[in-house]
Structure formats: C-alpha cells, structure tokens
C-alpha cells in the first residue's frame, strides 16, 4: 500500500516537495492541464472585474497575478509533456492509494453532515471510523480513544474558547446553561 | 526612579507574576494548536477579565501573546504543521530536524533564540520606542507596496524544487487573497456571483488545509511506519552554538522589530523575511536550508518574537496597533478606562513601564516553559500515526471553523487540504501559496493607494520613489534581490567564482 | 436506531424552544458582532454586554463574524430562528446595503433591542497641512485643484457620507480620494502624511488631537462638542449643513423580526440596564460617543430617519448602485 521511493520525494516536508525533477508522476499531466484551464478561467474572471479601466482599478492586481499563473502553468504543462513517466508508479498505488481515498471521502462526508447533525455526533462518527480503519484495534479501545480525545477538544474549544460549533441535534447550549445554573446555585 | 518602580510592578506583586506565568504557559499551548490563535485568546480574555483591574488583565494577555508566538514553532517542528502563520518558516527546517530525531535540539535552539529575539524586541521598545514609531509612520503606501514586492521575491528561497512551480504557487496565493469583496471599493472579485464567496477565503483556513490536512493525508502513505525516536537528552544548546548564531540573530531580530512595528505587517511576514535573509547571508550551513539548517530555525524564531516588542511600539507611543493582537489590547485598555494614544506615555508613563516589565517576565517564563515539558510534546509525535492523523484532521476542522465561526471556512480548508495534497505530490511548494495570501492585500491595497495618490500617473509614481530616501532604499533592495535570483546572475556568479555548488535548478 | 435518537433529540430541542417564551433565557445566547476584534463595535459590545448579562441572568457568547462590510454577520443572524437566542451587534452600515448593492437585507428585517450610542464625525488634517480650519481647507482646494489627498473607507463608510455632504453643500471638490480599509489605518496614514485630510469619527481621532499629532478642522455637528469645545462646528462656516446634521454612525443590538414580544422586552430591559451603568457611560464619554440607549418605536423611527437622510444624500451625490426609491425609502421631508 505504501511504497514511497525515497524520503525526499514523498512531499512530507514543504522544503523538499514531492515530484521528480526529470520525470513526471502519474496524473501530473492532468493536474497540470487543470491548472492551465483554471488559471485561464481566473484570468478571464479577473478581466471581468474592471477590465483595463485604470491602474488603480480593483481588477488590475488580480489580472496581473492570474496572467502570471496562466503563463507559468502553461510552461509547467509544456515541460511535463516532454518528460518521461516515472517507471512503475500508478495513480491508484502512489498518488491516491485506498486509505487516502477513503479518508478523503470521510472528510467530505464530515463536511456534509457537520451542519445538520452537529459537531459532536459527526466528529464522534468520524474519529471512530477513521481510528478503526487505521489502527485496526478493538471496538472498546477505538471508541474510548475517540470519545476521550473528542471530549478534550470540545472542552478546549467550546468551553474555554467559546467557539460555537454547529450544535445540530445536540442541545448543547441548554446543557451548558443548565450546568451553569447548577453552579450559580441560588442565583 | 518612578519608571523603574513601575517596571518592577510585576516582580513585586506575586499575583501579577502568577498571571503572566499562567498566561505564558497557556499561550504556548494555544499557539501550538493550529486554529487556536493568540488573537482569539486575547479577545476572549477581554470579556473574561472585564471586571478585573487593568494590570492583572494586561498581565494575562501579555503572557498569552508572548507564549503564543513562540508556541507556533512546536507543531511546526514536530508535525510539520505550523501552529500559527508566523511559524511557517520554522517548519521548513525544523521538521527535517525532527525527522532526523533531533526534535529536542530544534526545540532547544528555537526556545533560546525566541527568548533572545523577544528580548531584543523588548529592549528596542523600552529604549527607542518614539524613534522607531516615527520611522514606522514614515512608510507611505508606495513603501508598503515595495515591502510587499520584496516579500514576494521570497518565493525564490521558499521554493527549493522548481522555481516556475514556486512562482505559480505564489501567484495563486495572491489570487486567493483577492477573493471576495474588495475592501476598498467593495467590488466583487473572483466570487462567481456566489454569496458564500463574498466574505473571501480566510487565510488561516488555507494554511490549516495546506499544512494540516494535506500533511495528514500524506502521512497516510506510511501509516504503519513507526515514528522516529526523538533524542531529547540534550535540549539546551551549547554556548558556542548560541555565540555562532549571535550575529545572524541580531540581524533577524532587527528585521522582526521593524516589521513588527509597522502597522499592517506582523510576525508572519517578519519570520519569512528573516528566513530569506538567513538563507542569503549564511555561507556554509552545516545542513543545507530545507534539510534542517539551524540557521533556518534561528532566523524566523528570533524575528517573530522580536516582532512582539515591535508591535507594542506604535501601540504605546501612538495608540496605533502594530498587529491584530495589539489592536485588541488597545480595546482592552479602553474598556479599563484608559485612553491609549499618543498621550498615554505622557499621562501614564507607569503603564508603559509596567507593560515592558510584564513582557520581560513573560519572556523569561517562555524560556522556562519552552525548555521544560518537551518530553510531553515529543510524545505527541511518537504517538502511533493511526491515532495522530484523525486527530490532526479533527483539530484542523475545528481550527478552521474557529477563525471566523464559519462552516464555509471549513469547506475551504478541506478543499485546500486536498488541493495541497496533489501539489505536494507533483512538486509544487506550498510555502509560496501562503506567502502570496499573506502579502496579497498588502500589495494590492497599497499599490492602488500609491497610484491613486499620484493621480494614476506612473511618472509621478516613480518620481516619488526616487525622491524619497526610504522608497529609494526599498526599491534598490527589490532590484538587487530580483537580479540576484535570476538564473543569468547565478550562472555568471558560478562562472566567476568557479563554484560548482551553485547549480542552477530548473 | 439512529432515527429514534434523532427523533428524541429533536423532541428535546422542540420542548426547549416551547419553554423559551416564559423563562427566557434557558440556554446560552449568541451575540454576533459584525466587525473584527478590537474595532469600535467590538469594544462597545464587549463592554456593555457583561452588564446586560447581569440584568438578564443569562450568558451571551460573543463572536466576531467579519467580511462583506458586515453583511455576512447580518445574513447569518437573519438565517437563524427568531427566538431571541441570536443577537446581531452591529453598526449603521446595514442601512446602506440595499442602495449600495451589498445585500438585500437591512435592519428592517430586525427588531432593535437598543441603539446604544451615536458618534460625531470630525474633519481632521495632518498637523503640517497648510490650513488650520475648514474655511482654509476649502480655499486651499480651490487654489490647488486635484492636489489634496482625502482619506476614504469605501462606499457607504463615514468618510464617503461626509464627503457627499460637503460636495452637496459646497459644490463638487476637486480632491484625490485615497481608500483605506477602516478609519484606524486611515488615521495612521494621516499622521504619516500619506493623506492630508480625513473625515473620521471623533472618538477615533480624539487622542491624536490631544497630542497634537492630528489637527482638527471642524466638527460635523450643529454645535461644538464638549470633548473638544475649541473646535468649531461646521455649521458655523456654512449654514447649509443644518439640513443634514446632526448625523453620525451608531451602534445597536438587534434580534430577527418575529422574535416573541416578551423575549424582546426582556432583552430590551437588560440592555437598557447595561447601557445605564456608570462604567459603560464613562467609556462611551471617553471615546466621544453620545449616549442614546433608545429602543422600541423610538429606535425604529431613528433608523428610518437615518436611512432616509443618508441614502438620499448618497443618491444625490451619485454614489449609490440603485435608488432608495426602489426599496420604498422616501426622500426626507416628504
């Protein structure tokens, strides 16, 4: 599942990004093509902001930057065209192996469920599923670790930093108020 | 004498001393968690300390500020996830060190250098605040613009792979920064007529996505590999190491103080500029930059902590915030019945010296907490990745949400997480994207202000540059750095010096 | 199984909502602040709310939701249930959203809980500017057309309204308008000499004026302000301003329209009590704000008048995207 060529080609450090200098990885050409198209769309969009109205127009810097994007994306794409493919690498094995794809889909599901279901249930489901899949340990351990760390995160963000994550189906605010009233005692 | 007594306030009142300590301790952890920011913590403290006296309230805030700026480096080194934007540069060399098992050394040197930088910042605040704030006020829109251009040229040193890909990434960052309603004319830019795009894209969300989620996805490739064992026997760096980096840290601290003192630029830009500076002046690093050079840690960490003292300079002398945190502190002073402004130093000099004293105390606490408790932190990286990865993802989600209490930011964060994952695979550097987003508004807004002020006349604009000494110096710096980065120059230099190490990367 | 849990949970929420009318508040209240941490709106709201909480016997958790000139926050509150558990803490800008094309909602979709205070605009200059008062500035502009750099904060901001007022009363000024993203950065630029003159809110400029870093030209009010008695009111230079003044930005707390009356009454009472505390009054006075603390019909009336006057002023100055008429905002005096 996880055969990576060498330490400095795995892209884990930003200072030593992945990719190969003289070769192209599977999918790199598609990515490059998407970047070219996206840059051109953005350039067109930037032109639409204010055209060539004035040097100080809100669209001038966006136009300049998207033009740079389009040119560099094109250069990268054309250079990639001439490069040989990395031998022995495939998208399914080296770029998007099973676990990455599954976790990515789980993150998308998280985003979809966050608002209707609420932070606590969604996060609990996500953590339990991800931990079960990655660590492959017993249910008791999985659920224990998931709920324990979720509780910790919830206390830090919700109680200490009063970040109001979407409550969804959990009557969080009522519970906290009830708790407060309990402490406030006779008041 | 009064000033000295005011300076000592914190040391003589155990309650204040305790509060600074608690604040610094909390700050280190707040700073280490991506998405929990010092700005957030301090603004919550405003309500929390509402009924307190002003000294205890400020003590706590200063502790959080100092500790938080430092704390960002922790996760940058250990997980390659900067806890705050000002620690992005720290990740570049800190993480490679941790991969070698030298996280302890990295944290040690970071702590000592942060302390040093913080101290320089405070010293400048205490001794030369009016001077520096006068200088900072001199920056005109065109100077800010030149500064932004100077910053954008850092793309060169942040993209160790392909320079073209780096330029693409930088331009992308600037475009991301422009999304939403333009703050000057309220024109919609890159919104595609969608209402969720109007608010723009929070750059913290971009940063958390690109560094947090994409890093975590990347780690999935070797989820079963055991983590690198960290040597943490020798944490405090030797005196000779410190002395060796003293000249560099003085230079980068100066960068930090000045950038920090400028209203509108803060520790994030300072750290990146300092990193670039270190890369430029260090002739023979023990390890190359990007592979765990100590200089690559020294520079950003001295600079971002020096920027703390710097940010207080315009706040104390003029009532103008030097960054987002000091902006909130000004609000706090108001709420506590003070009137921060140019008269504060004259009406209430005690306040100034008290703040200086609190900063010094916080700096010492930072050193203390920085050098202890490292074991706990390194335990985090030694946790099984199967546990660590889902937790990083959850923290990234909560963190992105917390910035502006918006689910849209969570979607952006995830989107940029996936995008960054592919960028990493295909050799696009991520640093320039964040650099672009940070500098986007500085560049765009000030370019427009500058050219509007000259009535859209480029001739008048350049005349303005050559007649102002400050602009001229910045302009020359831009030209020099630009020329020195072009392949032509590198080749010429390589030939002249016959240095085979100067390989031109294409 | 999941169905049952969901059902039970939503039943609980419903029960809690039904109970809310009598013993409001039964849960934490969210306060959405339209502007960023450290700004005037933020400072005002964070200092009045703890007092209001006391009177209310509940907790208000404040959050800053910025972006889109405050429209993001407004829409967020408008999207919540009208149960009094989400408050909008905002400034005057929403009243201009419609004509400025920034959104299709404004305070007419909300019920004012308390309009806390109002600010006074003041025209200030860099201390090195070659004039010392409003009259001198007008003369300078006539002699040096297109040279004076005037600070602005985007369409609909205080400077744009004051500038529109000057243009209407004195005739079009030939100046360079340099945009900043807020009066804080603009006043900084003024002290650094990047701009020459700036219409600002008195509270933001007062400390700079006291220190001599900023030169006051005229207070945009019908009389001089107690905080700066030596600065003349602009009406003493030109009577024409009497039509538009007094005018100023304001801060207020709002709930979505349709919130139960008893909840509105409870909140109104709480914020009125909060506004009355000496601490808060002193803070507002120090910052040069005029206390209002009005609610109910009086506040509605104030908002309507403010919107009429300002939108038509901007319309006549040619700064709007669409006419106030399109939204049923009548010209003042009609």
Query: Binning pLDDT at 50, 70 and 90, where does residue B168 land?
Result: very high
Chain A residue numbers with beta carbons less than 8 Å from the beta carbon of B160 are 15-17
Q: Which residue of C has its CA nearest to B314?
A: C188
Rounded Cα distance, B83 and B215, in Å: 13
Asked, for residue B52, whether it belongs to a domain, the answer is yes
Residues C66-94: tens digit of each pLDDT? 777 788 889 889 988 888 899 999 999 89
Asked, for residue B69, whether it belongs to a domain, the answer is yes
DSSP label of A155: I
Residues B419-463: tens digit of each pLDDT? 999 998 888 888 889 889 988 988 999 999 999 988 888 898 999
Residues C93-148: tens digit of each pLDDT? 899 988 888 888 899 999 999 999 999 999 999 999 999 999 999 999 999 998 99
Alpha-carbon distances, residue B213 vs A113, B207, B263, B435 (angstroms): 18, 10, 32, 18
Residues B273-305: tens digit of each pLDDT? 999 899 888 888 888 888 889 999 999 999 999
Chain B residue numbers with beta carbons less than 8 Å from the beta carbon of C46 are 46-47, 50, 331, 335
Specify the DSSP element, H or E, that contains B181: strand B180-181
Mean pLDDT of chain A: 83
Residue B494 confidence (pLDDT): 62
Residue B447 has its nearest CB partner, among A50, A61, A136, at A61
Share of chain B above pLDDT 90, in %: 35
The C-alpha of B444 sits at a distance from chain A's nearest C-alpha, in angstroms, of: 6
The C-alpha of A174 sits at a distance from chain B's nearest C-alpha, in angstroms, of: 20
Residue B171 confidence (pLDDT): 95
Residue C150: strand pairing partners: C177, C197
CB contact set of B150 (below 8 Å; sequence gap of 6+)? B273, B474, B477, B478, B481
Burial class (CB in 10 A: 0-12, 13-18, 19+), C2: exposed
Residue C20 confidence (pLDDT): 47
Q: Which residue of A has its CA nearest to C7?
A: A169
C26 and A170 within 8 Å at the Cβ level: the answer is: no
Q: What are phi and psi of B419, to 5 degrees?
A: -60, -45
A14 and B80 within 8 Å at the Cβ level: the answer is: yes
Rounded Cα distance, B159 and B434, in Å: 12
B460 interfacial to chain C (CB closer than 8 Å): no
Angle at CA of residue C208, ends C205 and C209, nearest 5°: 80
Q: Which residue of C has its CA nearest to B327?
A: C38
Residue C201: strand pairing partners: C121
- Asked if C31 and C61 touch (Cβ cutoff 8 Å), the reply is yes
A59 interfacial to chain B (CB closer than 8 Å): yes
Structure tokens at B266: 């803060």
* Cα torsion through B330, B335, B341, B346, rounded to 10: -120
Chain C residue numbers with beta carbons less than 8 Å from the beta carbon of B452 are 176-179
- Asked if C98 and C106 touch (Cβ cutoff 8 Å), the reply is yes
- Asked if B206 and A66 touch (Cβ cutoff 8 Å), the reply is no
Rounded Cα distance, B80 and A114, in Å: 27
C38 and B328 within 8 Å at the Cβ level: the answer is: yes
Bridging pattern class, strands B180-181 and B188-189: antiparallel
Burial profile B295-308: b = 16 or more Cβ within 10 angstroms, e = fewer: bbbbbbbbbbbbbb
Asked if the model's pLDDT at residue C205 lies above 50, the reply is yes
Residues C175-195: tens digit of each pLDDT? 999 988 777 888 889 998 999
Residue A187 confidence (pLDDT): 42
Mean pLDDT lowest for which of B107-111, B427-431, C300-304?
Answer: B427-431
Which of B193, B390, B398 to mutate: most A Cβ within 10 Å?
B390
Highest mean pLDDT among A159-173, B349-363, C52-66: B349-363
Chain C residue numbers with beta carbons less than 8 Å from the beta carbon of A170 are 9
Chain B residue numbers with beta carbons less than 8 Å from the beta carbon of A23 are none
Residues B52-90: tens digit of each pLDDT? 888 999 999 999 999 999 998 988 998 888 888 889 889
Asked, for residue B491, whether it belongs to a domain, the answer is no
For chain A, domain boundaries:
1-95, 97-186
Query: Binning pLDDT at 50, 70 and 90, where does residue B489 land?
Result: low
Query: Binning pLDDT at 50, 70 and 90, where does residue A86 land?
Result: confident
pTM value?
A: 0.86
Query: Binning pLDDT at 50, 70 and 90, where does residue B496 land?
Result: low
Q: Which residue of C has its CA nearest to B135?
A: C192
- Provide the domain count of chain B: 1
A68 and B167 within 8 Å at the Cβ level: the answer is: yes
Residue B160 confidence (pLDDT): 66
Asked if the model's pLDDT at residue B501 lies above 50, the reply is no
Mean pLDDT of chain C: 86
- Asked if B461 and B446 touch (Cβ cutoff 8 Å), the reply is no
Residues B304-353: tens digit of each pLDDT? 999 999 999 998 888 888 888 888 888 888 888 787 888 888 888 889 99
C58 interfacial to chain A (CB closer than 8 Å): yes
In chain B, how many H helices and how many E strands? 26, 2
- Asked if B443 and B153 touch (Cβ cutoff 8 Å), the reply is no
Rounded Cα distance, B76 and B103, in Å: 11
Asked if the model's pLDDT at residue C10 lies above 70, the reply is no
In this complex, how many residue pairs, one in chain B and one in chain C, have their CB atoms less than 8 Å apart? 150
Question: Which residue is it, tokens 């926050």?
Answer: C73
Asked if the model's pLDDT at residue A70 lies above 80, the reply is yes
Residue C176 confidence (pLDDT): 92
Asked if the model's pLDDT at residue B240 lies above 90, the reply is no
CB contact set of C293 (below 8 Å; sequence gap of 6+)? C114, C115, C116, C117, C271, C272, C275, C276
CB contact set of B368 (below 8 Å; sequence gap of 6+)? none
Residue C179 has its nearest CB partner, among B198, B405, B449, at B449
Chain A residue numbers with beta carbons less than 8 Å from the beta carbon of B504 are none
Residue range of the domain that includes B304:
19-79+87-200+233-381+426-453
Rounded Cα distance, B81 and B207, in Å: 9
Q: Which residue of A has its CA nearest to B218?
A: A12
Asked if the model's pLDDT at residue A54 lies above 50, the reply is yes
B402 and A69 within 8 Å at the Cβ level: the answer is: no
Residue C19 confidence (pLDDT): 47
Structure tokens at C28: 């934490």
The C-alpha of A123 sits at a distance from chain B's nearest C-alpha, in angstroms, of: 7
B50 and C66 within 8 Å at the Cβ level: the answer is: no
Asked, for residue B396, whether it belongs to a domain, the answer is no
Rounded Cα distance, B125 and B306, in Å: 10
Residue B504 confidence (pLDDT): 40
- Asked if B41 and B48 touch (Cβ cutoff 8 Å), the reply is no
The C-alpha of C114 sits at a distance from chain B's nearest C-alpha, in angstroms, of: 20
B221 and A100 within 8 Å at the Cβ level: the answer is: yes
Residue B399 confidence (pLDDT): 86
Share of chain C above pLDDT 90, in %: 42
Cα–chain-centroid distance for residue A43?
A: 25
Rounded Cα distance, C33 and C65, in Å: 6
- Asked if B102 and A19 touch (Cβ cutoff 8 Å), the reply is no
Asked, for residue B313, whether it belongs to a domain, the answer is yes
Structure tokens at C157: 């901001």
Q: Is the dihedral of CA B306, B309, B314, B317 positive or negative?
A: negative
Residue of higher predicted confidence among B251 and B340: B251
Rounded Cα distance, A60 and B458, in Å: 14
Mean pLDDT of C289-305: 92
Q: Count Cα atoms within 13 angstroms, Cβ side, for B171.
A: 24
Rounded Cα distance, B377 and B32, in Å: 10
Query: Binning pLDDT at 50, 70 and 90, where does residue B267 land?
Result: confident
Residue of higher predicted confidence among B24 and A174: B24
Residue A6 confidence (pLDDT): 38
Burial class (CB in 10 A: 0-12, 13-18, 19+), B238: exposed
End-to-end CA distance of chain B: 62
Structure tokens at B17: 């001393």
Structure tokens at B352: 């100034």
SS3 B442: helix
Specify the DSSP element, H or E, that contains B189: strand B188-189
Residue B388 confidence (pLDDT): 87
Q: Which chains touch B (3 or more CB pairs under 8 A)?
A: A, C
Question: Which residue is it, tokens 């923290």?
Answer: B395
End-to-end CA distance of chain C: 63
Rounded Cα distance, C164 and C187, in Å: 19
Asked, for residue B505, whether it belongs to a domain, the answer is no
Helices B385-404, A139-154: inter-axial angle, 10-degree rounding: 30
Rounded Cα distance, A111 and A101, in Å: 15
Query: Binning pLDDT at 50, 70 and 90, where does residue B1 land?
Result: low
Domains in chain C, please, with CATH?
Answer: 2-117+248-327 (3.40.190.150), 121-243 (3.40.190.10)
Interface confidence, given as ipTM, is 0.89
Burial profile B172-202: b = 16 or more Cβ within 10 angstroms, e = fewer: bbbbbbbbbbbbbbbbbbbbeeeeebbbbbb
SS3 B180: strand
Asked, for residue B335, whether it belongs to a domain, the answer is yes
Rounded Cα distance, B439 and B433, in Å: 10
DSSP label of B501: T
Mean pLDDT of B165-187: 90
Alpha-carbon distances, residue B351 vs A41, B356, B428, C138 (angstroms): 54, 9, 48, 41
Question: Which residue is it, tokens 């964060």?
Answer: B413
Residue B181: strand pairing partners: B188
Q: Secondary structure of chain C in the HEC alphabet?
A: CHHHHHHHHHHHHHHHHHHHHHHCCCCCEEEEECCCCCCHHHHHHHHHHHHHHHHHCCCEEEEECCCHHHHHHHHHHHCCCCCCCEEEEEECCHHHHHHHCCCCCCHHHEEEEEEEEECCEEEEECCCCCCCCHHHHHHHHHHCCCCCEEEECCCCCHHHHHHHHHHHHHCCCCCEEEECCCHHHHHHHHHHCCCCEEEEEHHHHHHHHHHCCCEEEEECCCCCECCECCCCEHHHCCHHHHHCCCCCCEEEEEEECCCCHHHHHHHHHHHHHHHHCHHHHHHHHHCCCEEEEECHHHHHHHHHHHHHHHHHHHHHCCCCCCCHHHHCCCCCCC
Q: Which residue of A has its CA nearest to C29?
A: A173
B185 and A4 within 8 Å at the Cβ level: the answer is: no
Highest mean pLDDT among B20-24, B26-30, B225-229: B20-24
B95 interfacial to chain C (CB closer than 8 Å): no
Asked, for residue B411, whether it belongs to a domain, the answer is no
Asked if the model's pLDDT at residue B255 lies above 90, the reply is yes
């Amino acid at each position: 599942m996880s055969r990576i060529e060498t330490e400095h080609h795995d892209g884990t450090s930003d200072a030593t990004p992945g990719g190969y200098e003289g070769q192209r990885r599977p999918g790199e050409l598609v990515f490059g093509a998407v970047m070219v198209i996206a840059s051109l769309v953005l350039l067109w969009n930037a032109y639409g902001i204010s055209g060539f109205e004035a040097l100080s127009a809100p669209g001038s810097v966006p136009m300049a930057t998207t033009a740079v994007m389009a040119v560099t994306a094109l250069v990268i794409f054309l250079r990639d065209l001439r490069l040989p493919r990395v031998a022995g690498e495939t998208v399914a094995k080296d770029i998007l192996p099973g676990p990455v794809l599954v976790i990515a889909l789980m993150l998308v599901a998280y985003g979809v469920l966050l608002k209707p279901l609420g932070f606590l249930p969604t996060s609990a489901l996500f953590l339990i599923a991800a931990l079960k899949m990655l660590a492959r340990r017993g249910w008791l351990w999985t659920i224990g670790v998931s709920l324990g760390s979720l509780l910790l995160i919830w206390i830090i963000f919700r109680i200490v930093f009063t970040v109001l994550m979407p409550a969804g189906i959990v009557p969080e605010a009522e519970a906290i108020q009830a708790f407060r009233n309990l402490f406030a005692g006779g008041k | 004498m009064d000033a000295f007594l005011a300076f000592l306030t914190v040391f003589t009142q155990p309650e204040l001393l305790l509060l600074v300590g608690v604040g610094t301790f909390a700050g280190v952890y707040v700073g280490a968690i991506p998405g929990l920011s010092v700005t957030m913590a301090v603004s919550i403290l405003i309500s929390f300390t509402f009924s307190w006296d002003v000294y205890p309230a400020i003590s706590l805030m200063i502790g959080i500020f100092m500790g938080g700026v430092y704390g960002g480096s922790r996760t940058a080194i250990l997980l390659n996830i900067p806890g705050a934007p000002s620690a992005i540069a720290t990740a570049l060399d800190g993480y490679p060190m941790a991969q070698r098992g030298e996280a302890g050394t990295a944290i040690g040197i970071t702590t000592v250098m942060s302390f040093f930088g913080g101290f320089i910042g405070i010293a400048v605040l205490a001794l030369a605040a009016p001077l520096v704030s006068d200088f900072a006020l001199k920056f005109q829109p065109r100077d800010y613009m030149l500064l932004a251009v100077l910053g954008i040229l850092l793309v060169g040193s942040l993209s160790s792979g392909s320079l073209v890909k780096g330029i693409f990434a930088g331009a992308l960052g600037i475009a991301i920064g422009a999304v939403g309603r333009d703050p000057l004319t309220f024109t919609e830019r890159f919104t595609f007529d969608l209402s969720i795009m109007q608010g723009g894209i929070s750059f913290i969300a971009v940063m958390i996505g690109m560094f947090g989620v994409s890093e975590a996805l990347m780690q999935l490739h070797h989820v079963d590999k055991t983590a690198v064992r960290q040597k943490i026997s020798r944490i405090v760096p030797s005196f000779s190491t410190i002395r060796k980096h003293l000249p560099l840290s003085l230079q980068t601290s100066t960068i930090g103080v000045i950038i920090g003192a400028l209203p509108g630029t803060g520790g994030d830009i300072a750290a990146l500029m300092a990193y670039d500076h270190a890369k430029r002046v260090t002739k023979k690093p023990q390890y190359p930059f990007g592979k765990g050079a100590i200089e690559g840690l020294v520079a950003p960490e001295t600079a971002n902590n020096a920027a703390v003292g710097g940010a207080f300079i315009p706040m104390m002398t003029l009532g103008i915030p030097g960054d987002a945190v000091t902006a909130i502190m000004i609000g706090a002073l108001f709420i506590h019945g003070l009137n921060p402004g140019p008269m504060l130093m004259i009406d209430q000099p005690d306040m100034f010296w008290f703040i200086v004293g609190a900063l010094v105390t916080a700096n010492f606490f930072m050193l203390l907490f920085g050098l202890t408790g490292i074991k706990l932190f390194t335990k985090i990286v030694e946790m099984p990745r199967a546990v660590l990865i889902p937790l990083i993802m959850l923290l990234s989600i909560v963190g992105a949400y917390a910035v502006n209490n918006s689910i849209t930011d969570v979607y952006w964060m995830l989107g940029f997480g996936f995008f960054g994952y592919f960028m990493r695979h295909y050799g696009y550097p991520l640093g320039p994207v964040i650099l672009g987003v940070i500098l986007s508004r500085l560049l765009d807004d000030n370019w427009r202000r500058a050219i509007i002020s000259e009535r859209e006349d480029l001739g008048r604009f350049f005349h303005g540059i050559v007649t102002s000494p400050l602009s001229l110096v910045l302009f020359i710096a831009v030209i020099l750095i630009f020329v020195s980065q072009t392949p032509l120059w590198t080749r010429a230099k390589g030939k002249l010096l016959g240095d085979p190490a100067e390989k031109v990367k294409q | 199984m999941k169905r049952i849990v969901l059902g039970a949970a939503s039943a609980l929420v419903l029960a809690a909502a039904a109970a809310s009318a009598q013993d409001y508040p039964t849960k934490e209240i969210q306060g959405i602040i339209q502007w960023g941490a450290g700004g005037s709106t933020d400072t005002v709201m964070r200092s009045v709310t703890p007092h209001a909480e006391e009177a209310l016997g509940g907790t208000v958790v404040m959050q800053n939701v910025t972006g889109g000139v405050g429209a993001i926050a407004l829409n967020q509150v408008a999207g919540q249930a009208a149960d009094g558990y989400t408050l909008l803490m905002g400034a005057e800008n929403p009243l201009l959203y419609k004509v400025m094309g920034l959104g299709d909602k404004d305070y007419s979709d909300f019920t004012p809980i308390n309009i806390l205070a109002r600010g006074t605009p003041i025209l200030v200059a860099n201390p090195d500017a070659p004039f010392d008062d409003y009259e001198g500035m007008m003369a300078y502009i006539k002699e040096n057309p297109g040279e004076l750099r005037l600070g602005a904060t985007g369409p609909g901001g205080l400077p744009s309204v004051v500038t529109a007022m000057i243009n209407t009363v004195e005739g079009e000024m030939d100046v360079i308008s340099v945009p900043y993203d807020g009066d804080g950065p603009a006043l900084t630029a003024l002290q650094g000499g990047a701009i020459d003159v700036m219409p600002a809110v008195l509270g933001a400029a007062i400390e700079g004026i006291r220190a001599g870093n900023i030169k006051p030209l005229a207070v945009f009010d019908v009389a001089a302000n107690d905080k700066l008695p030596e600065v003349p009111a602009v009406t003493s230079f030109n009577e024409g301003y009497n039509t538009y003044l007094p005018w100023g930005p304001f801060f207020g707390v709002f709930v979505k329209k349709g919130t139960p009356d008893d909840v509105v009454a409870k909140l109104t009472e709480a914020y009125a009590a909060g506004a009355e505390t000496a601490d808060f009054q002193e803070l507002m006075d120090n910052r040069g704000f005029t206390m209002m603390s009005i609610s109910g019909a009086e506040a509605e009336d104030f908002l309507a008048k403010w919107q009429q006057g300002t939108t038509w002023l901007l319309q006549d100055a040619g700064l709007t995207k669409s006419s106030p008429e399109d939204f049923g905002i009548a010209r003042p005096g009609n």
